Structure 1
Amino acid sequence: MQDVIIAIAIFAITYWFIITEIVHKATVALLGAVLMALFKILTQEEAFSYIDFNTIGLLIGMMIIVAITKKTGLFQYLAIKAAKLAEGDPLRILLSFAFVTAVSSALLDNVTTVLLMAPVTLLITDSLEIDPTPFLITQILASNIGGTATMIGDPPNIMIGSATDLGFVDFVVNLAPVVVVIFGVIILIIKKMYANQLKVSSEVKERIKDFDEHKVLQDKKLLVKSLFILGLTILGFAFHQFLELESAIVALAGAAILLFLSNLDPEQILEDIEWPTIFFFAALFVIVGGLEEVGVIEWVAHKVLGLTQGNLILMALLILWVSALASTVIDNIPFVATMIPLIQALAIADPSLQIEPLWWALALGACLGGNGSLVGASANVVVAGIAAKHNNSISFREYLKVGFPLMLIMMVISSIYIYLRYLI
């Protein structure tokens, strides 16, 4: 019983620090993981066994590929090209940027996408002399929506894919259809919201035509290599189950080959890896592993089964909405790290339970729920930080007014989708 109390205390205190952001979340998570070992909740071997190295490897591999690809200027090219195709019309630019962001987030990852798109967005809005806030908020929404569509688009999906037998194609087949619908609905709402606000003179529109998208392409040979390897990597994800390769091996293989072909200094590339995020993930796995080791996860699973009386519909909708609301308050990564073993425990407690719909409910709830507030997902925080550096701060309340209602709409659509597709 003492171990249970200690494990819960470490978990709760760690979460509190993560939520309040008093100390960097990676630092807190590492301390929490170490405390699990110091208090002998886990041995060193047990602690390492709980780390999902497939998730870690996949993240590192994709980060390397993206770090090399971004040196080509591809994202800036796409953004400027989209703005010119929109003929300088702010509303059309906003919508085209949203599309580019969503697609890029699905194929790479949403954090990297906004990291590269947001500065270009601010450049365009400065030229148009309009408030960048609608553009940036839309970009946040688009990145989280687009990232939901694939296994590699958003960290929660990476974690779910690694913890299950679900592959890249499974995510696309099961999540992409509803993501397309949600994206369409949200874009229509945003278009109506900002239609009157985003208007500029013809003279201002003409400025966009002066941008030369070709100038931002810094290394065309590297661009070809990057796109080729990225394409092969995504193809590898699609067939990784058939090839009997883990997704981490596919990502790391793509990263290693591109690093070799690029002939870039590996030290510089590895500096671009988000090492705090990597250690944050690893530490979270250990902390949640501590709860699992002392039986807390299993106990909660039995309580959930009792509460829902084993009703799959109630369970799926409960996971969807709890995930969404929780991800509005806290970063969705630690929440998903806790939920994965819980769903696995549900399957053990009731072997007849069809748990696949629960995974899709968790993915939709966590990824889309992150749109609910400015701290709900990593992409949100990144965009807010970039905006603040450019003296265009997005307030928590300002975002909440737009993001939270739209998140609720996303959840309603997701609820209908899950019910119609899996539960009837």
Structure 2
Amino acid sequence: MIVPQLLLAALLLAALITQAVLPAYRVLIVVSAAGLAVLVARLYGTVVPGGLLGAVPWDVLIILVSLGALSSVLAESRLFDRLAVVATRISRGDPTRVTIVFAAVMYVVSGLVNNLTALLLVMPVQLVLFRLIGVERRYVAWSLGLMLVACNLGGAATPIGDFPAILMLGGGRMTFLDYLVRAGPTTALIFLVLLAAVIRMVRPAKHIPSDPLSTRISCTVIEAMHRRVLLRRRIAWPAAAILGLMFGAWTVLPADLGVTPELVCWLGGAATMLISPRVGEDVLRRRFDAEAVLFLLAMFIMVLAVRSSGLFETLARALVDTPLPIGLQLGLFLVLAGVATALFSAGPSMAALLEVADVLARELPGHVVYVGLALSVCAGSSCLLTAATSGPLAQALCERADLRDAQGEPIRFGFFEFLRVGLLSFVIIETGALGYAAWALYT
């Protein structure tokens, strides 16, 4: 089995590196690599015909599609637009408050719906506010960077917030409630520590002059711009109620009833579409994220092909057999998971890392391994702008806003502008992951 392990590992690694370097072609890259992986696995007899497709976690894809559709309907209700205006009102246009309030809003929202959808509708309001209050480069980098990290932490807080947690929920590795009560408080604490570090130590707004009149005018302008953007209550409240019922079903319904998380998502998504059939049909036809589904399907197939060679089992056993205490073995795995995610992004990394985590979970309590892994993946995806799912979108929105400093020079938000935010976030979140693992393992 050594030859197929080496070939499939090299193919997986090459695909991960290439899709990270050339994100514009990432779907084509992973689809092609998945086809080659299936061919290699078949030639060496590690899988039977149809075996890989049968092992694909279709439940995870159903959850992703259903939650994406629900997020799109909520966006059509203009709920996020109104939420951005409320955040502006609460912040009162003060630069420090703007940073805190918008980061907190994105943390909460990202735990409930697709963070890309929320970011697309909330961030433009924040950028207009930046232009009105007059900002400088350092402030924009830290404020937007903190908001992106808040998206990642919010996504890791609940089992439906982001792909890594959804993968655990769909795979049955943890129940909805078990993950929520363990990861939710931990990510909230990490978020508060990060927020305090940025506001108290970095102080991104310290060079922006305070002008109460200007801040009041800024808030008034924002509200005037969105005065005609009315909440479509006939869509918003029923959709929110359905989401609440889905939370209740995930939390209360016993597993032996047979109402699985993906079935709850499917029924909840369909009910949301039926609230307004015209909006629902438009979401399904024009806003269905086929790119994300195809990318993840190809990644699953490629990872499953590698697993069929026994490589992940070998790596996990090598880690477990090292002459280190079990706690240090887990810590080493979590640190490596964070670094791998920073290099290859959350989705591809999590799909491969879970195969190793499954073996470690035979030696350790499952929640210690899986929640620690989710936090480490969150740390890695917060380290570099290219690793964050919402990073390229935030960069594009900032470029379109054409922000300028007091000298009229354009303000950019790119890889190097985010780097300091990302490194600080990585250290704090990874420390939180290790701290959670140590606390959960030894208490």
The bucket for the TM-score relative to the shorter chain is over 0.9
Q: Deviations over 1:207-265 (max 9, x none)?
A: 21241455323522111222111222222232354453221111111110111121225
Query: Is the counterpart of residue 215 in structure 1 residue 231 in structure 2?
Result: no
Query: Is the counterpart of residue 390 in structure 1 residue 395 in structure 2?
Result: no
Of residues 255, 260, 274 in structure 2, which corresponds to 1:246?
260
Residue 312 of structure 1: how far off its partner (Å): 2.8
Query: Where in structure 2 are the equivalents of 1:173-188 lying within 5 Å?
Result: 173-188=181-196
Structure 1 partner of 2:245: 232
Structure 2 partner of 1:201: 211
TM-score, normalised with respect to structure 2? 0.89
The question of whether the paired residues in 2 share the 8 Å contact of 1:77 and 1:214 is answered with no
Structure 1 partner of 2:418: 399
Pair 1:33–1:317, CA change in 2 (3 A): same
d(CA) in 1 for partners of 2:377 and 2:78? 31
Residue 173 of structure 1: how far off its partner (Å): 0.9
Structure 1 partner of 2:106: 101
Query: Is the counterpart of residue 275 in structure 1 residue 293 in structure 2?
Result: no
Structure 2 partner of 1:343: 357
The question of whether the paired residues in 2 share the 8 Å contact of 1:315 and 1:358 is answered with no
The question of whether the paired residues in 2 share the 8 Å contact of 1:88 and 1:209 is answered with no
Query: Is the counterpart of residue 306 in structure 1 residue 321 in structure 2?
Result: yes
The question of whether the paired residues in 2 share the 8 Å contact of 1:324 and 1:368 is answered with yes
The question of whether the paired residues in 2 share the 8 Å contact of 1:140 and 1:379 is answered with yes
In structure 2, the gaps of 5 or more residues are 403-410
Pair 1:287–1:241, CA change in 2 (3 A): farther
Task: Determine helix, strand or coil for the equivalent of 1:194.
Answer: coil
Task: Determine helix, strand or coil for the equivalent of 2:242.
Answer: helix
In structure 1, the gaps of 5 or more residues are none
Pair 1:324–1:37, CA change in 2 (3 A): closer
Amino acid aligned to 1:283: A
Amino acid aligned to 2:288: I
Pair 1:163–1:86, CA change in 2 (3 A): same
Aligned-pair identity (%): 22
d(CA) in 1 for partners of 2:350 and 2:14? 17
Q: Deviations over 1:320-361 (max 9, x none)?
A: 2112222222211111100111122345xxx55433311111
Pair 1:99–1:346, CA change in 2 (3 A): closer
TM-score, normalised with respect to structure 1? 0.93
Of residues 151, 163, 177 in structure 1, which corresponds to 2:171?
163
Amino acid aligned to 1:305: V
Q: Deviations over 1:53-109 (max 9, x none)?
A: 111000000000011110111111111111112222121122111111000011113
Q: What RMSD over aligned residues (CA atoms) do the two structures have, in Å?
A: 2.1
Matched positions, count: 420
Q: Deviations over 1:13-40 (max 9, x none)?
A: 2112122126522221111111223332
Residue 44 of structure 1: how far off its partner (Å): 4.5
Structure 2 partner of 1:24: 25
Amino acid aligned to 1:172: L
The question of whether the paired residues in 2 share the 8 Å contact of 1:240 and 1:247 is answered with no
Pair 1:266–1:85, CA change in 2 (3 A): closer
* Deviation larger for 150-159 or 388-397: 388-397
The question of whether the paired residues in 1 share the 8 Å contact of 2:156 and 2:162 is answered with yes
Query: Is the counterpart of residue 372 in structure 1 residue 380 in structure 2?
Result: no
Query: Where in structure 2 are the equivalents of 1:79-118 lying within 5 Å?
Result: 79-118=84-123
Amino acid aligned to 1:354: P
Amino acid aligned to 1:63: G
